[in-house]
Structure 1
């Protein structure tokens, strides 16, 4: 199966997600947060820097729990405006 290239919007969404995760991590060491989430420090580094704009769902779940963020909050960061669409439904 060939993976389609990411759109510019997906790349930007990955940057927003990475920034939000980095902000939530605060002063905590990257390695400690990665281990607590069950991922490698390099994976977390790539997500935070935007070099991995579409991390696996399980990775996002683990990071949300480790950092005390809700999945809905992360989804709204990934897809701004989706909250308004959900409210209208």
Structure 2
């Protein structure tokens, strides 16, 4: 399967996700957080650094659960922009890609 290049908006959203997870993890060990979520520490490190800008939904859900974050809060935080709230064009395509 060929992955399409990420849009600047997707890269920015991945960076917001990483920052949110780092803040939520606080002083908790990356190793323990990753193991509790059932992901590799390397995967968590890449997500937190923004290198994996569009992680799989189950991965986000597992990490959020371990950190006590609701998926609504995660979604709201990573999609917060100064632009309008409507979904159209590239943003709609991104949402559809994340949902699949």
Structure-2 residue corresponding to 1:29? 29
Question: Could you list the runs of 5+ residues in structure 2 that have no partner in the other structure?
Answer: 87-100
Question: Could you list the runs of 5+ residues in structure 1 that have no partner in the other structure?
Answer: none
Where does 1:13-52 land on structure 2 (aligned, <5 Å)?
A: 13-52=13-52
Paired with 2:50 and 2:22, the residues of 1 have a C-alpha distance of 11
Two-structure CA RMSD over aligned residues (Å): 1.6
Paired with 2:29 and 2:45, the residues of 1 have a C-alpha distance of 11
TM-score normalised to structure 2 length: 0.79
Structure-2 residue corresponding to 1:61? 61
Aligned residues between the structures: 84
TM-score normalised to structure 1 length: 0.88
